Structure 1
């Protein structure tokens, strides 16, 4: 299921994670948003499933837009961001990559990271 992205993500961010398919889609998403948290995951990954409720809450409770990238259907995109293990979270602020975190993180850590880059 794909969630439509509002045309102006700087004014409002979706309250659910948005599935991204392909480099062009992620590039456009990042260019049009303020703070984007990209979750590179795989359906078979246990830690990714543990992280899922956290990223859903972050999508609904923070100003960040959460993008979900399935590494199995987007291997070239994952490779271009140096994703070697899942989950990998990449944070973008104002169109630039500012952080990359590998592994499950606590909701508090991720929320703090997002808030540190929110205008």
Structure 2
């Protein structure tokens, strides 16, 4: 798929989401499931969202004010250690959390200068503002998020 086709696809999905919200009456606040899928609701997801392409990450970052992106690899021991913390951050902080598999999306990892995993990038208003390499505890990461989500 070309960049132009991907962009058009993103626009189409956003338009469909907006139309669906207008039909359903945005603001009724009805969420029947604790796990909110950002692609369907536009709300901050409560579980980490797996990124499928560079354009998917761009859309995700532009949809949410504060986004924590976890660049990881399945073979990485420290990444596995960090996984429960990342899931907790998605549940308990205002940040949307995204996961990028560096083996699947090598170009995206390269684009953001990821040379080791785990690497966490924090985006605020669509721009990368913080980078953390290695495992950190929940309190440290939650504090980092709250500095931008406040």
RMSD (Å), alpha carbons: 1.4
Matched-pair contact (CA < 8 Å) for 1:8–1:32: no
* Other-structure match for 2:70: 39
1:102 partnered with 2:123: no
Name the CA distance, whole Å, in 2 between partners of 1:91 and 1:58.
12
- Scaled by the length of structure 2, what TM-score is found? 0.73
Deviation at 1:8, TM superposition (A): 5.9
* Other-structure match for 1:114: 145
* Other-structure match for 1:66: 97
Which structure dedicates a bigger proportion of its chain to strand? 1
* Other-structure match for 2:51: 20
Matched-pair contact (CA < 8 Å) for 1:93–1:117: yes
1:8-44 superposed Cα distances (whole Å, 9 cap, x missing partner): 64xx311100000111000111111110000000000
Structure 1: gaps of 5 or more residues: none
Structure 2: gaps of 5 or more residues: 1-35
Between 1 and 2, higher relative CO (CA 8 Å, sep ≥ 6) is seen in: 1
- How many aligned positions are there? 115
Which structure dedicates a bigger proportion of its chain to helix? 2
Higher-Rg structure is 2
